Amino acid sequence: MFAIQERTKGDMPLTRPKPTTQIQNVVASVVTNSTLDLDEIAATMPNVEFDPEQFPGLVYRLKKPKTATLIFNTGKMVCTGAKSEKDAKRAVHKIVKTLRESGIKIPGRPAITVQNIVASASLGAELNLELAAVTLENSMYEPEQFPGLIYRMRDPKVVILLFGSGKIVITGAKFEHQVPEAAEKALNRLLELDIVRVPEGEDWSEEE
């Protein structure tokens, strides 16, 4: 999952790929400043799951946007499964509107805060994780426990899971723009440390 830049003039080799990211999950917390009767919601609303003996929250599922939202009697919610910040907010507003239409009192606008964005990407080449383990700062690699290397990036503040295949998973982002920024910075740093196994015949140096 990466975009290759066009070939340079003549027979020059391919330049470095540009990582393209795909958001897999947006987790957002919600505060409604109201107390909710989950028994009433469960009795009147479709597409909900509520088993207080197993879990204190009610699960409200939407098909569009496809999300699952945990609702608690404190009025707090947690929306998961959205593929963008926009969809997470759409899901919350849709649920709040539906609850109000059924007679549930929720004053004012809900306060929605993105807590975590999880995204995947590919760097387009294999990685030398053994070398990364000894040269990459803020990293941890225990292949006996987990096949990926954990890289804690400081700016943006995210955690990146690196795999030998060149696939990566970015977690901890608070804003969508941090995802491609983190992927590009990670690739730059890995190239600096010679951790990326650049395919023979290709030039991955940055264009001036």
- pTM higher than 0.75: yes
Q: What is the pLDDT of residue 200?
A: 78
Residues in the chain: 208
Structural domains in the chain, sorted by start:
13-22+117-192 (3.30.310.10), 33-109 (3.30.310.10)
Is the separation of the CB atoms in 62 and 95 below 8 Å?
A: yes
pLDDT digits (tens, 9 = 90+) for 124-140: 899 999 999 999 999 99
Is the separation of the CB atoms in 120 and 167 below 8 Å?
A: yes
Tokens 């998973």 correspond to what residue? 169
Q: What is the pLDDT of residue 207?
A: 52
Q: Tell me whether residue 183 is exposed, middle or buried, using C-beta atoms within 10 angstroms of its C-beta: 0 to 12, 13 to 18, 19 or more.
A: buried
Q: Tell me whether residue 1 is exposed, middle or buried, using C-beta atoms within 10 angstroms of its C-beta: 0 to 12, 13 to 18, 19 or more.
A: middle
